[in-house]
């Protein structure tokens, strides 16, 4: 099981917020088919959610530990019936983050005409 730094764990939790679960564990428990599906999800996305049905809290924590041990992943978060798991993809190229540039099309176009005089209010 891989350990994560607190700052990396925080950023992964933020990324996982909008994700939907890719696998479900029900009453039959953690089968080989479910493990294979979780493995495919980790290969494709690196960060996934797994939904657990009908299992008590202590058993959910044990499931999270078993998933992480068997798939060499890191636990990110266990909240309610949802487990968040992360495993870095060694095949993915590591690219530095590109700086965000301001969109030039949003800027007001500069006019070559002189500014107009302010309008005066008419008295009644």
Instruction: Return the domain boundaries, the chain.
Output: 6-86
At residue 121, the pLDDT reads 73
At residue 120, the pLDDT reads 72
At residue 102, the pLDDT reads 62
Enter the pTM of the model.
0.70
| Weakly modelled stretches of the chain, pLDDT under 50 | none
Residue 86's closest CA among 72, 69, 94, 74?
74
- Name the DSSP letter for residue 53: -
Distance CA 103, CA 100 (A): 9
At residue 32, the pLDDT reads 93
CATH number of 6-86: 3.30.110.60
Residue 50's closest CA among 85, 75, 74?
85
Burial annotation 10-40 (CB, 10 A radius, 16+ → b, else e): eebeeebeeeebbbebeeeebeeebbebbbe
At residue 63, the pLDDT reads 93
**For residue 46, with 0-12 CB atoms within 10 Å meaning exposed, 13-18 middle and 19 or more buried, which class applies?**
middle
At residue 21, the pLDDT reads 94
Q: Note the pLDDT tens digit of each residue in 77-96.
A: 999 999 999 999 877 655 55
């Amino acid at each position: 099981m891989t350990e994560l730094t607190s700052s990396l764990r925080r950023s992964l939790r933020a990324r996982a917020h909008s994700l939907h679960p890719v696998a479900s564990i029900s009453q039959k428990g953690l089968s080989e088919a479910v493990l294979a599906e979780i493995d495919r999800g980790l290969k494709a996305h690196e960060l996934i959610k797994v939904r657990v049905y009908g299992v008590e809290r202590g058993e959910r924590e044990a499931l999270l530990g078993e998933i992480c041990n068997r798939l060499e992943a890191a636990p990110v978060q266990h909240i309610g019936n949802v487990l968040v798991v992360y495993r870095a993809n060694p095949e993915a190229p590591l690219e530095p983050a590109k700086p965000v540039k301001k969109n030039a099309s949003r800027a007001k176009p500069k006019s070559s005409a002189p500014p107009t005089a302010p309008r005066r209010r008419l008295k009644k």
